[in-house]
Amino acid sequence: GKVLKVTPKSQGTPKPKETQQPTQGTPKTSNVGSVVKDGNKTKYTNPAGNELTWVDQHPKNINRDIDNKIKSKNVGDATEAKVAEYLKDVKEIKGFGQRIEKKNGQPAGDLDVVTKDEIIEVKASIKAVKEKQFNKLIDENDPDFFNPDKKKPVLYIDKPLTNIHPNDQKMLDRLKSKGVTIVNSLEELKEVLK
């Protein structure tokens, strides 16, 4: 068969460090997998070839969920809702507590607060931070990668980051080096979203 040379349209700024070798016979729909809308669901096949699904949330339901969670006894839920409630006036919230499911129905993860440009992972304290969670947002080769729009990952930690353990500090530094923005107050978060 004939081999057609396709010059990929450059998206944004080219990444100098990766020279992409074209893989034979696999069509690349976008630079990070393919997205198919199915009613109110989004089916996303990531670069690792795994299909992940999530339900697109209606703004009315997002507001209802925020109101419900704000009263929660669960500190994690209440903190997520507090952040979302605060951000509502700053930027439109596209997703809140959005569940991502694998093809077999198992959870692949969830997105705490999503805007047009950012995915905000909300933690009540540094103890709740799991470094691996961020691989799903930054490492395209992660089996559960689910950030097709390359949104900016932001980590919001509610409790003040004072006297933190050296290992925790190392983890935060590693996350920063991978491109995660870390904020420690609602004001800082607002600044980051401008």
Average pLDDT, the chain: 88
For residue range 69-126, what is the model confidence (pLDDT) as tens digits? 999 999 999 999 999 999 999 999 999 999 999 999 999 999 999 999 999 999 999 9
Strand-strand pairing, 34-38 and 107-114: unpaired
Half-sphere exposure of 105 (CA within 13 A, CB side): 0
The pLDDT value recorded for residue 32 is 86
| pLDDT tens-digit series, residues 116-157 | 999 999 999 999 999 999 999 999 999 999 999 999 999 999
Residue 4: band (very low, low, confident or very high) from pLDDT cuts 50, 70, 90 = low
Query: What are the structural domains, with CATH classification, of the chain?
Result: 58-193 (3.40.1350)
Predicted pLDDT at 19: 45
pLDDT at 6: 57
Residue 124: DSSP 8-state: S
Q: How far is CA 158 from CA 61, 76, 92, in A?
A: 25, 10, 21
Give the DSSP letter string of 14-64: PPTT-PPPPPTT---SSTT-EEEEETTEEEEE-TTS-EEEEEPPPHHHHHH
Backbone angles phi, psi at 118, to 5 degrees: -130, 155
Amino acid 194: pLDDT = 73
Enclosing H/E stretch for 109: strand 107-114
Radius of gyration of the chain (CA): 18
Residue with tokens 């983890």: 171
Helices and strands per DSSP (H, E), number in the chain: 5, 8
Contact predicate 122/185, CB 8 Å: no
pLDDT(30) > 70:
no
pLDDT value of position 20? 47
